[in-house]
Each structure stands twice: as structure tokens, then as C-alpha cells.
Amino acid sequence: MNAGPQWLDRPLTSIALCWRLVRADGLALGFTSHDRDLRVNGLLYRAGPGMTPSSVSQYAELEPDNMEIGGVLDDRSIRAFDLDSGRWLNARIELFACDWSEPDTPLALLRGALGQVSRSLAASGGSYRVDLRSGAYALNLLPPMELSPTCRARLGDGRCGVDMAGRVRRLAVSGGGGSELLLQAELADAADFSGGRVRVLDGMLAGLDFGVIEVAGAVVRLDSLLPAAIEPGTRVRLSEGCDKRFATCRDRFQNAEAFDGEPHVPGADTLVRYVDP
């Protein structure tokens, strides 16, 4: 049985809590409850006495091991705009304890992803609270497999297998706001990008990803509102979409053997059909 780090057995404790956050775009930040910055395994953990965790509850069953982290908004690292725009949603987070005098032997407490962010506004900058969702929480979100006439895979993922090379465009926009982007030029094959994804590559929204409902000429209609207007000249990456029908998979992508659905299974309407005499 693992006895744990030796620093837990000392008569005088020097324990500090640390958080390591890794955003989807690769940005990694470290924070510690200690009153001085710590360097643990090569990453600098900045002192953030205002960051306080709630009690951590862990279960042997598949109950979600959730926790809340509260803190003070810091424009140098975690900006209010980034929280509101969803840039930190589902970022990976690790909570561990260490001996601040010899921090290279950490004790892992919880790993998971950032969930719902709530914040309060104040003249001093405001405060925020973040839910931490463990791997058990993610398991609870997995839906049961059901028969479906449409494909369950996402275009280009491991189950689909379609090569996305040549199906992605890097384009410049002439502006954008609300739930629309306006490209600088019309796309001749605009219909192929309906149901796809668009990612902003520069500007204040760089790294944010949106679903595409429809592309009509030079207008890209998104599945959610932009958190801020996009300036002219901003570059985006536009990926093709799929309507998930078997005919599209077979005829457009020549990928019928990888179709992740049951297109020939009779639907519920079969039960109410009249029998032909």
C-alpha cells in the first residue's frame, strides 16, 4: 500500500495546494494557495491566496467528484472576457498538494475539467467561481447507444476516418457580429461547409470554435452568438460539414463502409402503417 509522501508525516506541516490548468489551445497556467510563487516540475505556480477550493468529495462509485474553486479575476492570466466567451470551458485541471519547501514530490488530489463559470461584477474587478468536474462526471454524461438512421460520428474523427486535408479553408472576413460572419469573398462550394466548424485564428477571439449552420455565398451563419464583434481582416479556418445521411457518406465521401448508423432499420412509423391487402 502506498504510504504517501514523507512530508505528510512531519510534525510541522508545510502544505500548499496547487492548481494546474491547461486550456484547449495549449496555454498552461499554475496557481498556488501559498504566499510565494512555487516552481513544480518546471511550471511556475503563481501565488494566488484568493483562490480557495471548496471541500473535495470523492466516491468509489460513479458519483461525480465535483469541487468549486473561487478566486479573484486577474487580467494578467484569467480575464473576465475569456471566462465569458467560453475559452476556459472544459480546460483540463489538476489539483494537488505539495511541500512548499520541497515542491517536487506532489500528491495528486483530483483531475478533471472546468465546468460552469459564474462571476460577480465589482469596481475592484469582481470574483469568479468555477466548477471542477472529474472523470466520473464525464462518464455520467455518456448517452446510451441507440439505433439511428443518421451517422453518430463527427466528420473527420476516428470513427469517420475521412481525410480532412483539402476540406479546410483559411479565409479572411470583412466583419462579423451576432451569429454571422461575412467572408471577403463568396465560396463556390459553400453548401459543403454547412454543418461544419469555424475557428477564429487571430484577434481577441483567437482560438474560439463555433458550429456552422449554413454558408450562403459569403455569409456564414453560426450556431451561437459571437462574444464580440470581429474586425475586418481577421482570419478564420472553415472546415467542411456533413448532414450525416448515408447517401451523403456514400456518394460525396465514398465512405459508406465507415458509416456509424443504421440507415436501413425501419423507423417507428412502421408500427402504424396499414397492411397491404
CB 240 within 8 A of CB 197: no
Domain map (residue ranges) of the chain: 6-140, 168-239
Predicted confidence band of residue 155 (pLDDT cuts 50, 70, 90)? very high
Domain 6-140: which CATH number of 1.10.3470, 2.40.170, 2.40.10, 2.60.120: 2.40.10
- Total count of residues recorded for the chain: 277
DSSP string computed for 216-235: ETTEEEESS--SSPBPTT-E
What is the domain class of 168-239 according to CATH? mainly beta
Predicted confidence band of residue 248 (pLDDT cuts 50, 70, 90)? very high
Per-residue pLDDT of 53-73, as tens digits, reads 665 555 555 454 556 666 655
Would you say the CATH fold of 168-239 matches that of 6-140? yes
- Check: pTM over 0.85? Answer yes or no: no
Helices and strands (DSSP H and E) totals, the chain: 3, 15
Per-residue pLDDT of 22-53, as tens digits, reads 988 888 988 888 888 999 888 999 887 556 66
CB 70 within 8 A of CB 86: no
DSSP string computed for 102-142: EEEEEEEEEEEEEEEEEEE--TT--EEEEEEEEHHHHHHTP
